[in-house]
Structure 1
Amino acid sequence: MKVQRLRVIFCRGEEVKYITHLDLMRFWERALRRAAIPLAYSEGYSPSPRIALAAPLPVGVTSTGELLDVYLSQRVTPYNFIKTVSQQLPAGIAMREVREVGLGLPSLQSQVRWSEYQVDVSTDRSREEVQAALAQLLAAESLPWKHQRDKEVRRYDLRSLVHDLWLESLADGLCTLGMRLRTDSQGSGRAEQVAAALGFSEPPLRIERSKLILEETSPAVQAWRRHGEPG
């Protein structure tokens, strides 16, 4: 039986940037069990813990803003959750914040709309040239793109996956870009493809997801806001 839903904001560092989405779920499940957290379980012949990640993180990408929902069968304060679970997490995974959210809210995965990234690329272009490339891509109505994975070739409009682009910094040949890319059932933008579309010939030196942005316009969310979160 579910009596509480906690939302975890956590970081995923260099030590674990090459693990798969499934491996990450296993890390969390193991840590929660070792910490003796009273997990709620699904029904059926093979009950499984009710935990859910917001969106898969591409392999090789770090993050400072991943989201995880954990459903509990007994109430646990966010403070005690952090205190007990932190000791069981592997190197490279660290919790930033834990807070309670409404049990009746839509699933975490269904609420995700955008991801924000910081992307480091090497370049010999000036600030003005980089700004012009960003403006040109944002002004485009469409950007036909193809991506080959193994023998499969996918064709799609890359522009529809880009919400915003900006220049964070540029110094000594190192350019840091900010990107807000679509992350939902309609598609997911990939930072390295956007960097290539901007004319950067070398693959990014670093890609970090800094934030996941949720849709908050559903009636359930509006009702939750009206009543407020429990203290």
Structure 2
Amino acid sequence: MFISHLDVIRVFERAFRRANLPISYTKGFNPRPKMTFTPALPVGTTSCSEYMDCEFDEEILPRDVMIRLNNVLPIGIKILEAEVADNKLPLSSLNAASYVVSIEDGSNNEAKLRNAIKEVENSKEIFIEKQSKSGAKQVNIIPLIYSIEVLESNSEGIKILMKLSIGQEGSISPSVIISVLERIAGFEFEINYIFRREIYYFDGNKKIFPI
């Protein structure tokens, strides 16, 4: 079962209450828990690399937070690691993510797929229509693509690694990339799954992960 980003936020709000953790709240008419999440994970996409920042009114060990939350979180959501944040890299600054996309290749069109990827890599402009609050607009997605490559190909299908922009400077989803590749290659892919493997800050030379 897949749930939306807003539902994930609600899950953690309830989990903090059930775990009786001293999370801090905002001030004002409608106080909210002080939690910050990485950019929303599209519904239907799996991940093992999501991050959350939270503040507490009392000092508490990160390991205790992890254990107490995992005791009350639903099956399918689990805290893998907890540390004290140094605030040097706020989650809002993360700008890149890597995805593994698995597609079926019953028509044996791997060569066409690889050629389509090369065409994207060699292009300076590929425009798509994106909806915004002000209406539809044309967006060049090439600056939002860091790399695309075929990871492996076998009888079960083809796995593609995509490193894409996310966050405030612009974002693009793997499904949109697949649509562009379909258009160039001239055939449709059946997507088995999309998995977000990493989320990080990319400064043009190296990856920096949040702490």
If the TM-score is normalised by the length of the shorter chain, which range does it land in? 0.7 to 0.9
Number of residue pairs the alignment of both structures matches: 198
Aligned amino acid, residue 211 of structure 1: E
**CA apart distance, 1:127:** 5.0
Matching residue of 1:175: 158
1:124-148 per-position Cα deviation (integer Å, ceiling 9, x unaligned): 3465543332222111111112257
Matching residue of 2:100: 118
1:192–1:203 CA contact under 8 A, matched in 2: no
Matching residue of 1:135: 118
In the alignment, the residues of structure 2 paired with residue 128 and residue 37 of structure 1 have an alpha-carbon distance, to the nearest angstrom, of: 54
In the alignment, the residues of structure 2 paired with residue 37 and residue 148 of structure 1 have an alpha-carbon distance, to the nearest angstrom, of: 40
1:198-226 per-position Cα deviation (integer Å, ceiling 9, x unaligned): 22513422111111112579xxxxxxxxx
**CA apart distance, 1:174:** 0.6
Aligned residue for 1:95, secondary structure, equals: coil
Please show how residues 35-184 of structure 1 align to structure 2 within 5 Å. Answer: 35-102=19-86, 104-105=87-88, 107-109=90-92, 111-123=93-105, 124-125=107-108, 127-147=110-130, 153-172=136-155, 174-184=157-167
Among 196, 201, 210, the alignment partner of 1:214 is 201
2:121–2:147 CA contact under 8 A, matched in 1: yes
Alignment pair present for 1:20 and 2:7: no
- 1:30–1:192 Cα change, 3 Å: same
In the alignment, the residues of structure 2 paired with residue 37 and residue 20 of structure 1 have an alpha-carbon distance, to the nearest angstrom, of: 24
Aligned amino acid, residue 63 of structure 2: Y
Matching residue of 1:204: 191
Matching residue of 1:195: 178
1:134-182 per-position Cα deviation (integer Å, ceiling 9, x unaligned): 2221111111122579xx6442112222111111111115111011111
2:4–2:43 CA contact under 8 A, matched in 1: yes
Aligned residue for 1:117, secondary structure, equals: strand
What TM-score results when the alignment is normalised by the length of structure 2?
0.84
- 1:172–1:210 Cα change, 3 Å: same
Structure having the higher strand fraction is 1
User: Alignment RMSD, CA only?
Assistant: 2.3
2:95–2:169 CA contact under 8 A, matched in 1: no
- 1:168–1:153 Cα change, 3 Å: same
In the alignment, the residues of structure 1 paired with residue 72 and residue 203 of structure 2 have an alpha-carbon distance, to the nearest angstrom, of: 32
Matching residue of 1:220: none
**CA apart distance, 1:61:** 1.1
Aligned residue for 1:101, secondary structure, equals: coil
What TM-score results when the alignment is normalised by the length of structure 1?
0.77
1:79-121 per-position Cα deviation (integer Å, ceiling 9, x unaligned): 211211101101111111111112x446422x11011111011
Unaligned residue ranges in structure 1 (runs of 5+): 1-14, 218-228
In the alignment, the residues of structure 1 paired with residue 89 and residue 29 of structure 2 have an alpha-carbon distance, to the nearest angstrom, of: 25
Percent sequence identity is: 22
